[in-house]
Amino acid sequence: MSKIYTVEVYTADEKNAGTNADVKIKLVGKAGQSGPLHLDHPDGTRTWFMPFKVGGTNDHERDSDSTYYFNLDEDLGGVTKILIGHNNKRSAAGWKVAKVVITSGDYVSKTIKMGLPPKDFTFDDFVVTETNVFTMNQWIANDEPPFKDTEAGSSSALLLLCSPSAVLEFRHGHREWFDDEDNPFWKVMSS
């Protein structure tokens, strides 16, 4: 059964906290995990949920928040971990993530009577089933902790594995791994 997930990403209000790199997230739940999901509103267009143009959206800038909508083929069973990061490309790739909020839900068809004479009006209503907040306040940058004193170079993609209460692990690896969802770089053990 499919499930709708919203991903709200909040960038910290700190100097140079925004990023121009490509950002992805993987959702890990009790019953499964998503593939890497691209967090971008290309050319100012929104996702299928809001298909109108909003004028050249620049995601993940300082003190900003962006919301993304994903209709996944399966219910992950409550998101317990996220794996979030970027490919460390482009200028100003370093990024400080304040928090990520994951909401899951379903669309339920409802019919009401409206008008004179009354006629049936059917619409889909989004019903929230669960919300998880991942408070991070963490840099994802090769010149800031936790990556600063590692072998993560400027050509490494960078990822953080987080639970709602803590950063569990950090990873770095080849940039080409970033676009290969079958690579061990994206592997996460379910909870």
Q: Which domains does the chain have, with CATH numbers?
A: 3-186 (2.60.60.20)
> Residues in the chain, how many?
191
Instruction: With 0.75 as the threshold, say if the pTM is over it.
Output: yes
Contact status, residue 4 vs residue 71, Cβ threshold 8 Å: yes
Q: What is the 3 state secondary structure string of 74-102?
A: CCCCCEEEEEEEECCCCCCCCEEEEEEEE
The set of residues, in sequence order, having a beta carbon less than 8 Å from that of 151 and lying 6+ positions away, is 172
Closest CA to 10 of 104, 96, 111: 96
Q: Could you read off the pLDDT tens digit of each residue along the chain, which spans 191 residues? A: 678 899 999 999 999 898 888 899 999 999 999 989 999 876 544 444 444 444 446 788 888 898 888 889 889 988 999 999 888 887 778 899 999 999 998 877 777 776 677 777 666 677 888 899 999 888 888 777 777 767 766 667 888 888 888 788 887 777 777 777 777 777 776 55
